Amino acid sequence: METGEDSSCVLNPETLSGKDGRTDEDSTEETSSKAVAAQDPEFYSHAAAYWENIPATVNGMLGGFAHINAPDISASDLFIRSIFKMKNPPGHGRAVDCGAGIGRITKHLLQKHFGKVDLVEQCQNFIDRAKDNFKGSKKIGKFLCLGLQNFSPEPNTYDVIWCQWVLGHLTDEDLEDFFRRMGYGLKRNGIIVVKENVTSSGTVELDEVDSSVTRPENLLLDIIERAELRVLKNIRQPNLPKGLYEVKIMCLKPKKA
């Protein structure tokens, strides 16, 4: 197993001190990530610069916590299986892995459940690694090297849009717009999965190192509501080591669907 090249990222521990010695007391609290981004016009470019220097490994994707890959994937697998058992389930045709990194989730989860998987990722190094990792695989569709704030799928494209450990890199305003566009990109019965850290402090916590925010669950739900999506399922990721942020897994659908 790869070991800790870096422990500061979207996946930062909530109460444990990371390698760089930060604790949640060091993080700046804000009521809105829009406010955060407004203070820092380079919110996106700082994040891009941060990820440029992170190793293209599972450990790099998980902020030095490679050992949570197994419980993460296993909970996601149970979650997606439960979604397929719902009334009017999504199809198994095409999924997209948003903020895919090197394709960790595509490799261990999405390609097992879908005929084709597209990957959207802003860091070219990670896309290159993913292309290598999936060379020859018929399950992989497009590799799109772009920020989610600029990702706009054609209508009626995806059965499942998977967003994990990346949405803290979008401002509130961009996240709302992103959710709306994803709603349009869904096929009939399609769903969006959000798997993200949430704070227990009830406030937004800014990570200045990777230029991301961690939102309280209420704010995330508020943005989802504003984007005209409804929550069909919302569970807590089990079996994570103590001290990490709580992780919620949500299944969303457009209100009009």
Ligand X SMILES: C[S@@+](CC[C@H](N)C(=O)[O-])C[C@H]1O[C@@H](n2cnc3c(N)ncnc32)[C@H](O)[C@@H]1O
Q: Per rule CB under 6 A, is residue 164 in the interface with ligand X?
A: yes
Residues 6+ apart with CB under 8 A from 9: 50, 54, 62, 63, 207, 209, 210, 212
Q: Per rule CB under 6 A, is residue 130 in the interface with ligand X?
A: no
What is the distance, to the nearest Å, from the Cα of residue 31 to the centroid of all Cα atoms in its chain?
A: 21
> Between 20 and 188, whose beta carbon lies closer to ligand X?
20
Q: Per rule CB under 6 A, is residue 66 in the interface with ligand X?
A: no
Q: Per rule CB under 6 A, is residue 51 in the interface with ligand X?
A: yes
> Between 47 and 219, whose beta carbon lies closer to ligand X?
47
Contacts (CB under 6 A) with ligand X, residues 21-50: 44, 47
Q: Per rule CB under 6 A, is residue 186 in the interface with ligand X?
A: no
d(CA 142, CA 118): 5
Residue among 10, 186, 198, 252 that touches ligand X (CB under 6 A):
10
Residue tagged 């490994």 (tokens): 57
Q: CB of residue 10 vs ligand X: minimum separation in angstroms?
A: 4
Q: Per rule CB under 6 A, is residue 165 in the interface with ligand X?
A: yes
Q: CB of residue 52 vs ligand X: minimum separation in angstroms?
A: 9
Of 3-11, 26-34, 35-43, 183-191, the window that binds ligand X (rule: CB under 6 A) is: 3-11
Residue among 22, 34, 104, 129 that touches ligand X (CB under 6 A):
104
Question: Taking CB positions, which residue lies at the least distance from ligand X?
Answer: 101
> Between 24 and 72, whose beta carbon lies closer to ligand X?
72
Q: Per rule CB under 6 A, is residue 105 in the interface with ligand X?
A: yes
Contact assessment for residue 79 and residue 247, using Cβ atoms and an 8 Å cutoff:
no
Binding site for ligand X (CB under 6 A): 9-11, 44, 47, 51, 61, 99-101, 104-105, 121-123, 126, 147-149, 164-166, 169
